Structure 1
Amino acid sequence: MNYKIFIVEDDPWYGEMLKYHLEMNPEYEITLFDNGREVLSNLYRKPDLVCIDFGLPDMNGEVLLKRLKQENVNLPVIIISGQEDIEVAVSLLKIGARDYIIKNDHTKENLWQAVINARENTILKQEVEELKDQLEEKFDFSNSIIGQSQPILKVFKTLEKAIKSNINVSVTGETGTGKELVAKAIHFNSDRKRKPLIAVNMAAIPPELVESELFGHEKGAFTGATSQKTGKFLAANGGTLFLDEIAELDLSIQTKLLRALQEREVVPIGSNKSTIFDARLITATHKDLAKEVQEGRFREDLYYRIIGLPIELPPLRERGNDILLLANNFVQDYCKTNKAGKITFSEDAKQKLYNYEYPGNVRELKAIVDLACVLCDEDKIQPKEISFNKLAKDNFISFQEKSLKEYQTDIISYFLNKYNQNVVMVAEKLSIGKSTIYNLIKAGDIKLEE
């Protein structure tokens, strides 16, 4: 597609010279005008760039520039002028001119480069918009949060309500359940999606630096403050501020955070000037905030200020078949990232994944699946290639609803694995007959690992 350039020049000879020079690039489609009104009446043709002479007979360059920006604020405009007054150039650039070129012996070369720069800038902006669109699609919660279980469908319903409003959102859930993913899904599906999402892990910031990180500081405000710093509240202006692990905040900082949220303004360290901000707040924690309030570790007034719309994420062990949906998704991601062939799970491997409790939740499942893909010798993952977190290997009692026989089978399987499939030793440990174990193995209720 050709790059459309309008040249507005009242000197016919000079205009033709510029037109001829730019047409040396076959991708440029040049149209020449001799007055401002004519070019304004042709904006329906959607030019990609407009070059205007500052001294036109019907209106000066400043007036025409303003009219062009009123019609299309994103339209690049290059001013070509015989004036060398720096103040005029600066004024036009402030109004929105893309470039200011003086008429002299180098005008043709300078215009050529200015057009290239303007075109590259437009392409970069288009790429940024495309990337933003891709982010929105990626973090559409039906794509980014995998699951069909009732607990996760309940979360989806709450997310839909969060997206349609600007209310504060508080996300709770065990470690690894996907709290930051929820924050991203809310932001990138809300009216604030074109503005920044600033994520801050409160547990990762030393207590003495938290105030500076959140509210910013002036140069010289304290030892080591060699330059001015913009805080996260102002960095998120117009967008969303996500404060993860909010329960880790020191009580003194909680007081300042409360004031900022109440007044909707922040005061950087070392400054006496407050700055208004407009950012939506999403908080997250793996702790029970209400309990933290009762035990005096979290301010009650701040609790009610941030609680907003609560979203509780279910642990993976309560999500049933979502475990296998997520596992398959992680396998596909692994294959795509590592350019590997198709990998699937054997039925026994699926059962092993399904029966595990996942104290680390979705994050742990991903680590388990990635390792299984690495260990897999063929195109199918077997039970022996699935290894669970050693930190939690003694947590063998399931929290799922099961029959007494299923619990019995789980306990016997656990001890068989612990004692290297030694049936006699396990029978002695559990005070049961060897025949009970052999019958379960024969019936297929227990599968001995290789």
Structure 2
Amino acid sequence: MQRFFLFALVSIAVLACVVSILIMSIFFVPNNFKPLFEQWARIGSQRTLTIGGDVRVDFNNSQVIIQVNDVTLSEFQQDTPFVTIEEAQLSLAPGQLWNQRIIVDNVAIKGLRAQLIRDRNGRLNIEDLLRQSENPLPFVLEIVRTEMTGSDFVLRDEVTHHQIEFNHMNLTTSQVTAAFVETLALTVPLIEVGQVVFKNNGASMENKLDRALAMQLDVKQLEFNEAGVGNGSAVFFLRDIATDSYMNVQLSILETDQSAQTNGLLGNVRMDAEMAMQYGLQTVHLFLGTVFTVGKSGKQWVFTDIESEFSDFHPELIRNPVHGQFGGNLKLDMSAEHVQTELQGMLAGSRFIVTSSIQDFTNPVATFDIELDALDLDALVAMDKLKSPQNNTDSNDLPDFSFLNDLKLNGEITIGLLTAGGARFSGLRFVMTPDEQSLLNSITFGH
């Protein structure tokens, strides 16, 4: 019996020594484990993780503070950098590990550089990271606070040759879990939008700046559910730096009826939105309310019971603000790259019906059909902007709608009664095809 207790004591002592050595190795010589982290990333994600700086671990009361520098994660099965981080610090409370909870008190990231690329075949460079794991995480993760400063993010599309650069991004959040975001504040003082000219194999490129913008996003009490949407509110502000034009959007997602789940869809999600936009002298206000459903995959959205009111005013082009309202339905399928819209309403006292469809987001093919009961341009448009027809049906005397040709649309506009310059035209039908060089060549008249 004594030998048994002696053997047990010796075993416990040896085990304690081994555990102590491991703990000392992790917390006091953490650089010894850099190769293990890098190998784990290479095997688990087929991406190369490189930690150029030291890994530092400190203790502060009940917190463990981990700091890394000069971190690089490569593209999938490549050595090209995908994300680089100058400095990252993470503070966590290990006391909750026994309850299968990881509580991160603070995440601070400085100098993050990342790029999202769609290649010439339409594939995204993050598709491998978006795949859902068959095995859920064995713990619950909660982040109390996040702060990201001085970060840059690039969106590059090699199909359309467009590039958007988000420079000097700052992001702060509070209490983030897998199902809830308490607050989120994102500011981007400079967004460069342009086209990219690729040379040789695309390794070098020339960015032609088209527009410089600034952006701000504030989110409060955003809660997610199984379909990826839930309650919350957000305010989005976008400003054109050169012209000082702006767009301000306030969005509120109201109570969700979880009992309306059918065929993998979550129903009865009520959303209200308000938009104010100014571009030069033009101002636009829009109030929108709708009920929508979204697939659990997050790629099919159906908006029903749309109700809206809007106003549009440009002092140099129209006499008074133009008011209107519309309702209807909209279907968006991201996987099929298809948008279908059916709307009807009133515009400046005239009834209108709009049906439209957009297929293929890369090279969009747009079809539409617009019907207007009547359009009184004399009451809407400033007199010096109207051409005065001489009471005949010569197409040169009609108002100039040729700007619509630049939209490369395919469809027709029917106007029951058009009043312009004191003259009236009935049964007008404007037919547009992408091959038409002049819209006015395709006008027909009713009897």
Greater RCO (CA < 8 Å, at least 6 residues apart) = 1
Tell me the TM-score normalized by structure 1: 0.25
| Bigger Rg, which one | 1
TM-score, normalisation: structure 2: 0.26
Higher helix share: 1
More strand by share: 2
